[in-house]
Amino acid sequence: MMCSGMVSPDLILRALSKGADGVLVIGCHLGECHYLEGNYNAAKRVAVLKKLLAFAGVDPARLRVEWLSSAEAPTFVRVTSEFSEQIKALGPSPLKEVA
């Protein structure tokens, strides 16, 4: 994706239903968006979707948003490892059985 602002929440839902056990959205740091407000839009969408997932009965921890620049490789490694550990602990997505 060119920008976290292009990550439609519809695509996140699609990923979860097509077999992803979790979705990690990584965008540029807030205030550093080349398109000015792409990552703010991403932040809003993820916040709403997490709450909707919880209401629908899906653990909202399966969705996470992080802000990272391309110069932060160690943080990227830490965040992704941490997230994958967390998802492993949660087990397979309950939506996958349906799809």
Partner 1 sequence: MVEKVKARVQELLASGKVKGFIGLRELHGHIGPYLFTDGGDLDGFVIGDRKAAGDTRYPLNTQLIMISRQYPEETLGVLVRGCDERGLKTLFNTNQLKPEKVVSVGIACPQELADVCECMKPFPEEFVAGEASEARPFGSVERIESIEIGERLKVWLGEFAKCIKCYGCRNICPMCYCPECTLEAKDFQAVGSIASENPIFHLTRALHMAGRCIDCGLCSEACPADIPLRTLYKKIADIVDLEFQYRPGYQDSKGKMSPNVLGEAAKH
Instruction: Note the residues at the interface with partner 1 (CB under 8 A).
Output: 5-6, 8-11, 13-14, 16-17, 37, 40-41, 44-45, 47-49, 51-59, 94-95, 98-99
Q: For 63, phi and psi rounded to 5 degrees? A: -125, 130
Cβ contacts of 61 within 8 Å, gap of 6 or more: 22, 86, 90
- Give min distance, CB of 31 to partner 1, in A: 16
The residue among 30 and 99 lying less far from partner 1, judged by its C-beta, is 99
Listed residue (61, 54, 52) closest to 85, CA to CA: 61
Distance CA 58, CA 93 (A): 8
Q: Determine if residue 12 is left, alpha or beta; phi over 0 gives left, psi from -120 to 50 gives alpha, anything else beta.
A: alpha
The residue among 80 and 94 lying less far from partner 1, judged by its C-beta, is 94
The residue among 9 and 26 lying less far from partner 1, judged by its C-beta, is 9
- Give min distance, CB of 10 to partner 1, in A: 5
- Give min distance, CB of 86 to partner 1, in A: 16
- Give min distance, CB of 75 to partner 1, in A: 26
